[in-house]
Structure 1
Amino acid sequence: MTMRWADLLSPRRLGDAGYEARPMRSIFVQDHDRIVFSAPFRRLANKTQVHPLYDHDHIHHRLIHSVEVGSVGRSLAMRIGQWLIDEGAIAPGEEHALAGIVQAACMAHDIGNPPFGHSGEAAIGGWFAERFASGRGLAADLDPAMRAQFEAFEGNAQGFRILSRLEMYRDSGGMRLSHATLGAFMKYPVTAAARAALPEDVRKGYAGLKKFGVFAAEADLWAEVAQGCGLPAEAGWWRRHPLVFIVEAADDICYNIVDLEDAFTAGDLPYDAVYQPLYELAGRPNRDTAGQSPGEVIAMLRAMAIGSAVAGCVEAFCANHAAIMAGTFSRSLIEASDRAGEFARIEALAQERIFTTPRKTRLEVSGRRVIHQVLEGVMPVLEALGRAGWDKGALPDHHAQVVRALSLDLRGVAGPETALHALADFVSGMTDRYAISTARMLSGQ
């Protein structure tokens, strides 16, 4: 089954099917604005990207990273959109719809990530795994089939939960974004249970199955989006929306290149170690840098490297368009581009010399402890709520105090699964600083 751009660019809103966009403001621009003005997006300003925050004012945090990904994604989409017009695949003017969808999805791509970077995801998942293994308390009451989605906690699934359920119109479409934007957001269109049931060769054979991206609680919402976009359905999962590859490419371009610039700014890598890979990716430009500071040279090469990577990913999308539309393409655009070798070397450098720096390692160790302290401090409230028959008014005084002190949102909590989601919603939504202060309060330190 080949996908159709007419379906893929669906402006139909989740939770508000009858809505019609105003003439001067497209629904995809509205999607972008709803994301930007949301509290979860705003909190990204105090969430770690890669390098620990607060040590340096010029280090990227997740909000700035998201804005930069949106900028690169828009550029990619406009250039690909023009190619699609030339090929007769979309009508003139629809390149703006393409760009709006991609930019909105890019802005949201990290909205579900917890504090302390990707190590925060591992900390949350590790804590749940320990709880399930111990057979203690509320976690022991959860249906075993539901455990994997908590044990391998996934920020992408949490992001879809925020967009489709939690923010704005709670339990009624969430932000009520278009099917197209939600489809472009969904990097892993499968639940944890459905993924686990697939043969290993199937999981390894398709990039969209590398992880899960939908909690069971939002499976029906995702099915509505996928069907609205005309995505091919498989046994328990869907093929990726073609625009996912553009969103993914924008993210890959930004974090790989900008992590190098941040490493130089933070003093984790010397000038020569950063200069050479950026110079190679930028195409070995012959530019006069006399009178420029080292930081200015690195910034110039960063900009040129991004431009070179954008060109490579546009070419890769166009060359693989038929496979992408058939749902059989299973690589990233970076991997399929003529810049793949340069990016592989940058990723190897990051693994060897950025992700292992003492500052980052200390953050991961302390962040794990902070997250576990918060989870341990809040879990007794939920267990007490269970003993009270899920009646918030019957909570013991101390637990009621904790609810008030933390503004803990217990709406819809009526059983083990919803209780654990409320716990994960709370801790994953924290900023780094708020997580630290909450851990201190709950632990009495």
Structure 2
Amino acid sequence: MMMQWDKLLTVKRYGHESMVSPEAGRSHFHKDHDRIVFSSAFRRLGRKTQVHPLVLNDHIHTRLTHSIEVGSVGRTLGIRVGELLASTLPEWVNPHDIGMIVQSACLAHDIGNPPFGHAGEYAIRDWFKQARDAEFLTSLSPLERLDLETFEGNAQGFRVVTCIENHLYDGGLRLTYPTLGTLLKYPWTAEHATEKGKFSCYLTEIETLEKLGQELGLVSQGEGGNHWSRHPLAYLMEAADDICYAILDLEDAIELNILTFEAIKPILLQLCGNLDFEDDIFYSQASARRKISALRGKAMENMVNSAVAAFMKHYEDIMTGQYQGELLRDGDIGVKEGLHAAKTLAKTKIFPDTRKTELEVGAYSCLGILLDAFCHAVYEQYQKQSCEGLSYRSEKIISLMGIHAPDPRWPLYHAYMRALDFISGMTDNYAAYLARQIGGLSR
């Protein structure tokens, strides 16, 4: 079955189904962009780890700066592909709308990530896997346990934009279906997770995923349900993220004196391909920051060209839901090899950095304190089926959750999800502060 652009680019909004005319100066998709940018969850990304936790160097990427950069590249990819597909687009959509959809999805692609980056994800997963916490999971179904034991920032992000932000549990940001579809990198639940354990939807959002797939006309994968093909534009969002990741890891490593410019120069030159550029700066006294900036633009231009060409090359498979690759791996061979070299360098030289490792271990302990406190409190409330009679500590912990506090009559799984909403939404700084307060370590 071939997906159709008139459904893939509908202007319907999740949580606000009635059709509304666009405002002067703002299309429906521009509204998505603005709703994301002005959301508190997006703002908090400024104090969340991208790769290096709690660094004092102001030039290091946070989740916010990374998301803005990914959005910029995603917009370019969307416009470029939109121009090539202009004759097939519905009359209410132009190439710049495609760019705006991809940019909006890129801006929100990390919006569900917990504090302390991937270390935070592993801390949450491991807390629920540990044997000492088994008593807190006995009443959960196997699939409910799977959601908790494989906590995934992508799925939490889908929950944030469809449930938590703005209209709490009533459509969230109420984004258009195309933007939501483009955001879903893995449009399936944990039971269908990839080899790397990736998925973009918890059990709590299954109905939303089902509605999204039907409204957009995505291709259902298999007979079990809860598993859809990607929206075609999701491949562009993924490519934009990969392009920025490849370079930002190297840039940040130079800023932190983990790597030298000379160590990464060959990789950047390979990513530039055959594009011409002025190389006088390499023989000057310019800083490493200026030298890498000179190469960054050309490298990104070449990677964008490669991703666009790969999208068009695999267009038919993408539109039938059969494409399972990645645009940058299936494009220019030089780009593919350059990306592999960049990731290998990051894995061997950047990620094992001693200071980074020390901070990640500390972050792991910090989230352990928070999970102990909040999950124990909601479990106690669930057992009593009432807010009355709670221990003094649990009562105070529940009160800290504010509007995120679960109803004591709710199933335990939903109560835990509320606790994770609260914890995963914290910034690095607030998580560290609250863990010190709760753990009695504050000075």
Shift of 1:326: 1.0
**Contact 2:177–2:216 (CA under 8 A) maintained in structure 1:** yes
Tell me which residue corresponds to 1:200: none
Tell me which residue corresponds to 2:29: 28
Shift of 1:302: 1.4
User: Structure 1 residue 436 and structure 2 residue 437: aligned?
Assistant: no
Shift of 1:411: 4.1
Tell me which residue corresponds to 1:283: 273
Shift of 1:23: 4.0
Tell me which residue corresponds to 1:52: 53
Which amino acid counterpart does residue 36 of structure 1 have in structure 2? V
Query: Among 234, 238, 242, which residue is 2:228 paired with?
Result: 238
Shift of 1:280: 1.7
More displaced stretch, 301-310 vs 279-288: 279-288
Tell me which residue corresponds to 1:152: 150
Tell me which residue corresponds to 1:398: 393
Tell me which residue corresponds to 1:322: 316
Q: What per-residue deviation string (whole Å, max 9, x for no partner) do you get for residues 191-246 of structure 1?
A: 113x17xxxxxx56xxxx96221001100011111111000112221111101000
- Stretches of structure 2 that go unaligned for 5 or more consecutive residues are none
Tell me which residue corresponds to 2:356: 360
Matches within 5 A, 1:352-431: 352-389=348-385, 391-405=386-400, 407=402, 409-412=404-407, 414-431=410-427
Matches within 5 A, 1:297-308: 297-308=291-302
Tell me which residue corresponds to 1:186: 184
User: Structure 1 residue 222 and structure 2 residue 196: aligned?
Assistant: no
User: Structure 1 residue 70 and structure 2 residue 71: aligned?
Assistant: yes
Query: Among 162, 165, 169, which residue is 1:164 paired with?
Result: 162
Which amino acid counterpart does residue 12 of structure 1 have in structure 2? K
Shift of 1:141: 1.8
More displaced stretch, 375-384 vs 409-418: 409-418
Q: 1:406 to 1:221 in 2, by over 3 A?
A: closer
User: Structure 1 residue 101 and structure 2 residue 91: aligned?
Assistant: no
Q: What per-residue deviation string (whole Å, max 9, x for no partner) do you get for residues 158-214 of structure 1?
A: 000111111111221111111100000001111113x17xxxxxx56xxxx962210
**Contact 1:382–1:419 (CA under 8 A) maintained in structure 2:** yes
Q: In 2, Cα distance between the equivalents of 1:418 and 1:347?
A: 37
Q: In 1, Cα distance between the equivalents of 2:83 and 2:92?
A: 8
Which amino acid counterpart does residue 214 of structure 1 have in structure 2? C
Q: May I ask how many residue pairs the two structures share in their alignment?
A: 430
Shift of 1:401: 2.2
Secondary structure in 2 aligned to 1:52? coil
Q: What per-residue deviation string (whole Å, max 9, x for no partner) do you get for residues 40-74 of structure 1?
A: 11110000001233331100000010011110000
- Structure 1 vs Structure 2 CA RMSD: 1.8
**Contact 1:111–1:159 (CA under 8 A) maintained in structure 2:** yes
Q: 1:412 to 1:170 in 2, by over 3 A?
A: farther
Q: In 1, Cα distance between the equivalents of 2:197 and 2:126?
A: 19
Q: In 2, Cα distance between the equivalents of 1:255 and 1:50?
A: 10
Shift of 1:307: 1.2
User: Structure 1 residue 265 and structure 2 residue 255: aligned?
Assistant: yes
- TM-score w.r.t. the length of structure 1 is 0.92
Shift of 1:392: 2.8
Q: 1:92 to 1:217 in 2, by over 3 A?
A: closer
